[in-house]
């Protein structure tokens, strides 16, 4: 697979201007999706640029509809470069201040943290970032989470009883799980989990876990979807995945014999997809407006009902039979998600243990 590596630069970006809002072509008054007026926010419609360039590690199937809504609402021309999150972050670093990117919409917090540490992001308005719990945003306000996803151990209820499942992810290194596990070592979400494991438990403990699972002869799959599909067929008993893949499958077939198991440690890591504004942005006002748009109630409900992720803005609940984020946070060690940026050493560890 491609090795993904971030280049680190020195510097902290300064804050950009205030929050602008969208203009309704059918009204003399600019409004946001939530009905706030330009006057209420101290802005005028003329301050909103009519172009926006987004570098998106989130694929078009997940966010394309929302971008169309934002384009219609603002009348702006939106250009989106879709691609791998890590590769797009690397592109922004390589392009330097000549990068056309106004906004980086990353699939995981590690890439957002890498751009922040490289000095390529700006401080976001406190009114924006404070909509999201401090666990799911940059401590310095340089990026903010939009949606959350939880690592779960999904299991086939015909093959495993809930009380048989260990409370720790390390419990699956027990030989009794020989031949019963499914995982996807080349998948980005799995590698982010291993990075989290390294950060919270240390290098030796992370290596011990990888070696223990490998010794149990797990079945290897290319991605989360194929793991959950294998679980529905009874091909494996348990699988390490993100929570929303099962939620999607259950929308079509609610009777599948598969449920979530949330461990009481880093095995239930909460990672985020989030947004940062690039410090060389040519269109900073509309970039901030887009960030605000993603956190409004309508967009957050869209993510909850269409992508089955956890909404991160206050007051919007997740859909489905899921533990609340507050319950999950009680289980895991507190972690600064910006520190999930060291993917390079995770890849080295996976290669050292001969897993990839």
SS3 percent helix, strand, coil of the chain, rounded to 5, is 45, 15, 40
Structural domain includes residue 15: no
User: 95 with 236, same domain?
Assistant: no
User: 154 with 142, same domain?
Assistant: no
State whether residue 328 is helix, strand or coil: helix
| Vertex 335 angle, CA 330 and 336, to 5° | 135
User: 172 with 250, same domain?
Assistant: yes
Q: What is the CATH number for 79?
A: 3.40.190.10
**CA 238, 136, 192, 235: dihedral to nearest 10 degrees?**
20
User: 72 with 108, same domain?
Assistant: yes
User: 70 with 210, same domain?
Assistant: no
Q: What is the pLDDT of residue 46?
A: 44
Locate 7 and state its tokens.
């280049």
- Distance CA(55)–CA(71), nearest Å, equals 16
Q: Please provide residue 105's backbone torsions phi and psi, each rounded to the nearest 5 degrees.
A: -110, 95
User: 127 with 96, same domain?
Assistant: yes
Structural domain includes residue 77: yes
Domain that holds residue 171: 149-269+342-352
Instruction: Classify strands 144-156 and 77-82 as parallel, antiparallel or unpaired.
Output: unpaired
State whether residue 276 is helix, strand or coil: strand
- Distance CA(223)–CA(97), nearest Å, equals 35
pLDDT by residue, tens only, the chain of 356 residues: 333 443 322 222 222 333 222 223 333 322 223 233 222 333 444 488 999 999 999 999 999 999 999 999 999 999 999 999 989 999 999 999 999 999 999 998 999 999 999 999 999 999 999 999 999 999 999 999 999 999 999 999 999 999 999 999 999 999 999 999 999 999 988 999 999 999 999 999 999 999 999 999 999 999 999 999 999 999 999 999 999 999 999 988 999 999 999 999 999 999 999 999 999 999 999 999 999 999 999 999 999 999 999 999 988 889 877 888 888 876 666 788 888 888 889 999 999 999 99
User: 230 with 104, same domain?
Assistant: no
Residues 6+ apart with CB under 8 A from 330: none
Structural domain includes residue 34: no
- Distance CA(23)–CA(68), nearest Å, equals 15
Q: What is the pLDDT of residue 332?
A: 61
User: 285 with 264, same domain?
Assistant: no
Find, among 22, 82, 14, 11, the residue nearest to 287 by Cα.
22
Number of domains making up the chain: 2
User: 159 with 231, same domain?
Assistant: yes
- Distance CA(194)–CA(169), nearest Å, equals 11
Q: How many other C-beta atoms are found inside a 10 Å radius of the C-beta of residue 4? A: 19
Structural domain includes residue 233: yes
Structural domain includes residue 168: yes
**Taking the chain, what is the end-to-end CA distance rounded to the nearest angstrom?**
8
Structural domain includes residue 327: no
Strands (DSSP E) along 102-176, which ranges? 103-106, 144-156
Structural domain includes residue 37: no
Instruction: Classify strands 238-242 and 181-183 as parallel, antiparallel or unpaired.
Output: parallel
User: 265 with 283, same domain?
Assistant: no
Structural domain includes residue 200: yes
User: 207 with 101, same domain?
Assistant: no
Question: What distance separates the 2 farthest-apart alpha carbons in the chain?
Answer: 69
Locate 91 and state its tokens.
């592109």
User: 179 with 209, same domain?
Assistant: yes
């Amino acid at each position: 697979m491609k090795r993904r590596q971030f280049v680190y630069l020195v510097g902290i970006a300064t804050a950009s201007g205030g929050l602008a809002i969208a203009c309704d072509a059918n009204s003399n008054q600019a409004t946001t999706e939530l009905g706030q007026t330009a006057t209420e926010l101290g802005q005028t419609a003329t301050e909103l640029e009519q172009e926006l360039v987004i570098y998106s590690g989130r694929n078009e199937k997940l966010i394309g509809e929302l971008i169309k809504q934002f384009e219609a609402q603002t009348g702006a021309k939106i250009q989106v470069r879709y691609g791998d999150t890590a590769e797009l972050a690397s592109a922004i670093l390589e392009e330097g201040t000549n990068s056309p990117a106004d906004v980086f919409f990353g699939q995981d917090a590690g890439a957002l943290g890498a751009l922040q540490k490289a000095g390529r992001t700006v401080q976001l308005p406190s009114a924006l970032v404070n909509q999201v719990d401090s666990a799911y945003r940059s401590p310095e306000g340089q990026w903010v989470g939009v949606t959350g996803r939880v690592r779960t151990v999904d299991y086939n209820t015909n093959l495993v009883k809930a009380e048989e499942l260990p409370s720790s992810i390390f419990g699956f290194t027990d030989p009794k799980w020989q031949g019963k596990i499914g995982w996807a070592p080349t998948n980005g979400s799995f590698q982010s989990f291993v990075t989290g494991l390294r950060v919270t438990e240390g290098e030796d403990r992370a290596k011990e876990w990888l070696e223990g699972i490998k010794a149990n002869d797990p079945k290897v799959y290319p991605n989360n979807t194929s793991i959950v599909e294998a679980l529905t067929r009874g091909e494996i008993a348990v699988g390490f995945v993100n929570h929303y893949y099962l939620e999607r499958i259950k929308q079509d077939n609610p009777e599948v014999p598969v449920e979530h198991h949330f461990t009481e440690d880093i095995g239930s890591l909460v990672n985020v997809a989030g947004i940062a504004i690039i410090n060389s942005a040519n269109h900073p006002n509309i970039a901030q407006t887009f960030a605000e748009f993603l956190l409004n109630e309508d967009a957050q409900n869209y993510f909850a009902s269409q992508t089955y992720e956890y909404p991160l803005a206050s007051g919007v609940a997740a859909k489905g039979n899921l533990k609340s984020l507050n319950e999950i946070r009680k289980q895991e060690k507190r972690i600064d998600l910006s520190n999930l940026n060291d993917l390079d050493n995770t890849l080295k560890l996976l290669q050292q243990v001969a897993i990839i």
